[in-house]
Amino acid sequence: MSETYEQYKADLDGTLGDPEEPFPNLKKVKVEAEPLPLERVYVRVRLRAATVNWRDLLVVENSPLYIPAHQGLVPLGDGAGEIVEISSKGSLWSVGDRVITVPNCGWKQGYDVADFDPVPGYGSSNVDGTLSKFMIVRDDGIVKAPSNLSWEEAACLPVAGGSAWNALFHGPTPVKPGDFVLTEGIGGLSTFAIQLEEAKKLGATYTINYTIVVWK
């Protein structure tokens, strides 16, 4: 692949962004496509959709509440697209496959939770993310996108959907039929949790207003 393409970079020190733009901490730039690394199997993904999570806002704002990012970081961890290039034979993937990113690309199922390291996650620290036309990832840093979902729907799955699924079914006390589950707020994670709990319809059985002292 030899072409230039557009991506957004985080402007953390005020040297890239335009204060007149709606998002002054972001700068759209054109970059040259890099060759795929050869030390192991990498793929190039043409991103069709990317979604924003709360941690992405903290990263772009260079908030002390999250892992420090580097100047020029490509933000966002969630994305969906199709594979357009593979570095070598032997990959389980094929050109044209629909995939979604695995944001915490340095941690796999079966690892000890104590070893979890959030730093290698796409769109944080020094690992570029999905706010780009193309992205180079290891072939184990993506998973298959459900064929029945649009690009936008598939891109919402990793952080919010994965967190809700893990909390409900793979936490210390997996939920069982008849359990009551309290989800806080109406953000992406809570909405996913409600959908997983109430698979037949979108909507909670009960809602609670925290300003009302007596809950019924």
Band (pLDDT 50/70/90 cuts) for residue 62 is: confident
Residue 197 CB neighbour total at 10 angstroms: 16
Domains in the chain: how many in total? 2
Q: Is the same domain home to 119 and 202?
A: no
Q: Domain holding 17: CATH number?
A: 3.90.180.10
Q: Is the same domain home to 95 and 121?
A: yes
pLDDT at residue 56 in the model: 87
Domain boundary among 149, 179, 201: 149
Q: Is the same domain home to 142 and 193?
A: no
The angle subtended at Cα 54 by Cα 31 and Cα 163, nearest 5°, is 105
User: What distance in Å separates the CA atoms of residue 4 and residue 26, rounded to the nearest whole number?
Assistant: 19
pTM of the complete model: 0.78
User: What distance in Å separates the CA atoms of residue 122 and residue 130, rounded to the nearest whole number?
Assistant: 7
Residue 30 CB neighbour total at 10 angstroms: 10
Q: Is the same domain home to 143 and 160?
A: no
Contact yes or no for 100/82 (Cβ under 8 A) = no
- Dihedral Cα 90, 92, 98, 102, nearest 10 deg: -100
pLDDT at residue 110 in the model: 63
Contact yes or no for 125/67 (Cβ under 8 A) = yes
Q: Is the same domain home to 135 and 168?
A: no
> How far, CA to CA in Å, does 170 sit from each of 7, 68, 163?
35, 29, 10
Q: Is the same domain home to 143 and 163?
A: no
Q: Is the same domain home to 128 and 174?
A: no
Domain boundary among 128, 149, 170: 149
**The pair of three-digit structure tokens given for residue 177, joined into one six-digit string:** 């039929």
Q: Is the same domain home to 101 and 116?
A: yes
- End-to-end CA, the chain: 61
> How far, CA to CA in Å, does 21 sit from each of 15, 26, 27, 150, 208?
14, 9, 9, 29, 39
Domain boundary among 130, 149, 168: 149
- Domain housing 198: 156-216
Q: Is the same domain home to 104 and 201?
A: no
Q: What's 161's DSSP letter? A: I
* 60-69, 94-103, 110-119, 184-193: range with highest mean pLDDT: 94-103
Q: Is the same domain home to 137 and 169?
A: no
Encode pLDDT of 97-136 as tens digits. 999 998 876 666 666 666 666 566 888 888 899 999 999 9
Contact yes or no for 114/96 (Cβ under 8 A) = no
pLDDT at residue 78 in the model: 94
Q: Is the same domain home to 52 and 109?
A: yes
Q: Is the same domain home to 116 and 183?
A: no
